[in-house]
Amino acid sequence: MLGPLLSDLAALGPARPAITCGERTLSFGAFDARASQVAHALIRDGVAPGDRVVVLTKNRPEFFELLFGAARAGAVLVAMNWRLAPPEISAIVHDAEPSVVLTGADQRGLLPVDLAVDLGERVVDLDTGFEAWIEGLPTSPPDVAVVPDDVVLQLYSSGTTGVPKGARLTHANLEFTPRMGRESYRMSAESVNLLASPLFHIGGTGYALTAMGQGAHTILMAEVDPVAMVKAVERHRVTHAFFVPAVVKLLLDGAAGADLSSLQVIAYGGAPMTEALLLRAMGTLRCAFMGVYGMTETAGSVTALAPEDHGPGGPRAGLLRSVGRSLPWHEVVVHDPITGAPSGVGEVGEIWVRSGQNTPGYWHRPGESAATLTPDGWLRTGDAAYTDAEGYLFLHDRIKDMIISGGENIYPAEVENAVASHPDVADVAVIGVPSERWGETVKAVVVPVAGRNPDAAAIITHTRARLAHYKCPTSVDLVAELPRNASGKILKKVLREPYRATATTS
């Protein structure tokens, strides 16, 4: 469980650096003590086991003091996305029903006014009031009974397909993260881990625990800043990092002339990585790469494409399009999304996961919990994929993003990979748009390489040389950038919106 884990890490070396953010470094001993002070502060303010504690702030060390402090108090930390619009934040905060809210000074104005008034002094400003809030409180853990099945973290889905849902994660769910760090990410106590992903996503908090669970040093970035990230790698001799593909591209654009030789393993996931970008990253950074697949509801990664499986140009080069095989402590299978029957090798279906990492369900959403979790322990992910004969998993897309054109199922990720191999394409998203003839037809929304003005017909011809014609774009739009959420996923709902009322004849 999280509380005892931190105590054990502090006992191994209290002076060892735990978290560095900017010029501030927090040792494991101080981390352990301050987490206990947070726990006592929560209890003093009336937080009972099972109560929700909301944190609304950019990445900062206090987030982890709150996470482990809430764990020791038996409370549930609700990490809020500060990038959302005020109405979205209001809906989520009210859904969470917090007993205490902690917020950065710049984010305090995002809180709904009625809640701030109701909570009064139980809204704590992390910039001006946090130290006074914990001052003088005991530095040893409180006497609160906590068991592995207690919920400790609640993260809301990005909401790209509807109203965000609060996925509940237990101590037992998160106990796998140190093992993941050790066995999959190949971390040790000597690792230095760069953490730039937002902590309100599992790719931030969950990934952080893979390194912290080894007693490793975490270099925490307040937010994604490619220049600052490159400098951090050089200054702290970073060995490990996790990036979504969009951030990989930003890092590469700023890496010229930098000494990044300390990097050992870069994990990537959270959104499809095109082969073109992956090959560029491997050639530029010259370290091991590991592809991972998971989701909030599985408390992080459930599959991994090991560094040894990244072999461009070799007989297994096709694996670069895979997210790997199931980690040893999971069952990952593909089922027909309609019948629920297992899919055969090469047949696209929905990914199902059975694991000790699976969420026990959504907060206040019994119907959606029942639709996601089967009685025999499987979690239906909503992601489309197929497996090959060796058990490697190949992602296609969200089931809901599938395009049906003339009765044929088309998965955007496959088309995006083909379009992205065009030398003038820097980024691409593929969507289905209305068609009078086919019901839907394929559109590619392309970000050109800087200084290039690619021809739409040339891109379509390029794609047709690689895919069946029915899968290929019938139109191409050029844009300056693609809309993304905070985790780097492309907001295809936003891209589709302008075309809902129109239908082409293509």
444 within a domain of the structure (yes/no): yes
- Domain finish residue from 236, 265, 292: 292
396 within a domain of the structure (yes/no): no
Answer yes or no: do 28 and 174 share one domain: yes
- Domain finish residue from 236, 268, 292: 292
Least confident of 119-133, 262-276, 351-365: 262-276
Answer yes or no: do 274 and 407 share one domain: no
C-alpha 46 chain-centroid distance: 32
Q: Tell me the C-alpha to C-alpha distance, in Å, between residue 292 and each of 2, 180, 324.
A: 23, 11, 7
What pLDDT score was predicted for residue 504? 57
pLDDT band at 158 (very low <50, low <70, confident <90, very high): low
pLDDT tens per residue, range 106-119: 999 999 889 888 88
What single-letter amino acid sits at 160?
T
Query: Does the pLDDT of residue 314 top 80, yes or no?
Result: no
pLDDT band at 323 (very low <50, low <70, confident <90, very high): very high
DSSP designation for 412: H
For 8, the enclosing helix (H) or strand (E) is: helix 2-12
154 within a domain of the structure (yes/no): yes
Query: Does the pLDDT of residue 160 top 50, yes or no?
Result: no
What average pLDDT does the chain have? 91
7 within a domain of the structure (yes/no): yes
Q: At 450, which CATH number?
A: 3.30.300.30
Q: How many residues does the chain have?
A: 506
Q: What's the rounded mean pLDDT across residues 323-336?
A: 95
State the CB neighbour count (10 A cutoff) for residue 179: 14
pLDDT tens per residue, range 27-79: 999 999 999 999 999 999 999 999 999 999 999 999 999 999 999 999 999 99
What pLDDT score was predicted for residue 492? 85
Query: Does the pLDDT of residue 490 top 60, yes or no?
Result: yes
Query: Does the pLDDT of residue 166 top 70, yes or no?
Result: yes
What pLDDT score was predicted for residue 503? 53
- Residue 162: both structure tokens together: 């509807």
Q: Tell me the C-alpha to C-alpha distance, in Å, between residue 211 and each of 87, 286, 432.
A: 35, 22, 40
Q: Above pLDDT 70, what percent of the chain?
A: 95
Strands 288-295 and 265-268: what pairing?
parallel
User: What per-residue string of b and e applies to 49-84 under the rule 16 or more CB within 10 Å gives b?
Assistant: eebbbbbbbbbbbbbbbbbbbbbbbbbbbbbbbbeb
Q: Say if CB 345 and CB 389 are below 8 A apart.
A: yes
pLDDT tens per residue, range 172-227: 999 999 999 999 999 999 999 999 999 999 999 999 999 999 999 999 999 889 89
Give the predicted TM-score (pTM) of the model.
0.82
CA distance 174 to 65: 16
Domain encompassing residue 100: 2-292
Domains identified in the chain, total number: 2
Q: At 276, which CATH number?
A: 3.40.50.12780
Q: Tell me the C-alpha to C-alpha distance, in Å, between residue 219 and each of 175, 182, 494.
A: 22, 18, 33
308 within a domain of the structure (yes/no): no
Query: Does the pLDDT of residue 505 top 60, yes or no?
Result: no
What pLDDT score was predicted for residue 487? 60
Answer yes or no: do 233 and 97 share one domain: yes
- Domain finish residue from 292, 316, 336: 292
Of residues 207 and 488, more confidently modeled = 207
State the CB neighbour count (10 A cutoff) for residue 437: 12
Query: Does the pLDDT of residue 162 top 60, yes or no?
Result: no
Residue 305's DSSP bridge partners are 291
Phi and psi torsions of 58, nearest 5°: -70, 170
305 within a domain of the structure (yes/no): no
Answer yes or no: do 125 and 271 share one domain: yes
What single-letter amino acid sits at 237?
R
428 within a domain of the structure (yes/no): yes
Query: Does the pLDDT of residue 386 top 70, yes or no?
Result: yes
Q: Above pLDDT 90, what percent of the chain?
A: 72
- Residue 92: both structure tokens together: 């989520």
Q: What's the rounded mean pLDDT across residues 123-130?
A: 96
326 within a domain of the structure (yes/no): no
